[in-house]
């Protein structure tokens, strides 16, 4: 039996679309089409507020304060969940809230300095061999 045939593609140089400007109310806005790039939510991090970083599914969030009386129930729930480090994806799962909603909540908590975000390790041009080796060693122990 002959399997169906595919034809390979090649990376589109310079085709990566620019992230659009963050907007309010993104969770409610319908996407304009299936090909549209995701709107990315930027948050202010660091003491100087100069750097912007993106909340990734695997950004680890750690609370470093108890929920203040002013916290909304959702914020309080988030803060209680991440007394130990927890990824944004896990927070979304445990709270049964969409990822986009959790990132909005977290942005508020980050701005209020009630939580910190530990940035994910990113693939740096495939070059970080020691990282890959660490992951391999970890998998071998499974």
Partner 1 sequence: MDFKGSDTIPGPRTEDHLPPTAEAAVKIVIVGGFGVGKTTMVGSVSEIKPLTTEETMTQAGIGVDDNYGSETKTATTVAMDFGRISITEQLVLYLFGTPGQERFWFLWNGLFEGALGAVVLVDTRRLEVSFDVMDRLEERGVPFVVAVNTFPDGPRHAIEDLRGALDLSADIPIVECDARRRASSRDVLMTLMRFLHSLAVEKAPV
The verdict on 53 binding partner 1 (CB under 8 A) reads no
| Cβ-based nearer residue to partner 1, 90 or 108 | 90
Within 5-34, the residues that bind partner 1 by CB under 8 A are 5-12, 15-16, 27-31, 33-34
Task: Output the smallest distance, CB 96 to partner 1, in A.
Answer: 8
CA-based nearest residue to 85, from 58, 56, 52, 113: 58
Q: Site for partner 1 (CB under 8 A): how many residues?
A: 79
How far apart CA 67 and CA 63 sit, in angstroms, is: 9
Within 54-83, the residues that bind partner 1 by CB under 8 A are 54-60, 62, 73-74, 76-77, 80-81
CB 109 within 8 A of CB 78: yes
Among 44-52, 106-114, 123-131, the segment contacting partner 1 (CB under 8 A): 123-131
CA-based nearest residue to 74, from 54, 90, 96, 55: 96
Centre a 10 Å sphere on the Cβ of residue 114 and count the other Cβ atoms it contains.
20
């Amino acid at each position: 039996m002959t399997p169906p045939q595919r034809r390979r593609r090649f990376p589109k140089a310079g085709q990566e679309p620019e992230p659009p400007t963050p907007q309010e109310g993104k969770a409610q806005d319908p996407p304009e089409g299936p090909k549209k790039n995701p709107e990315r939510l930027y948050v202010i991090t660091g003491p100087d507020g100069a750097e912007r970083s993106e909340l990734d599914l695997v950004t680890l969030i750690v609370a470093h304060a108890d929920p203040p009386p002013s916290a909304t129930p959702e914020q309080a729930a988030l803060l209680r969940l991440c007394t130990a480090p927890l990824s944004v994806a896990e927070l979304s799962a445990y709270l049964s809230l969409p990822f986009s909603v959790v990132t909005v909540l977290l942005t508020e908590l980050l701005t209020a300095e009630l939580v910190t975000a530990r940035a994910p390790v990113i693939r740096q041009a495939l070059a970080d061999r020691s990282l890959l080796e660490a992951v391999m060693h970890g998998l071998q122990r499974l």
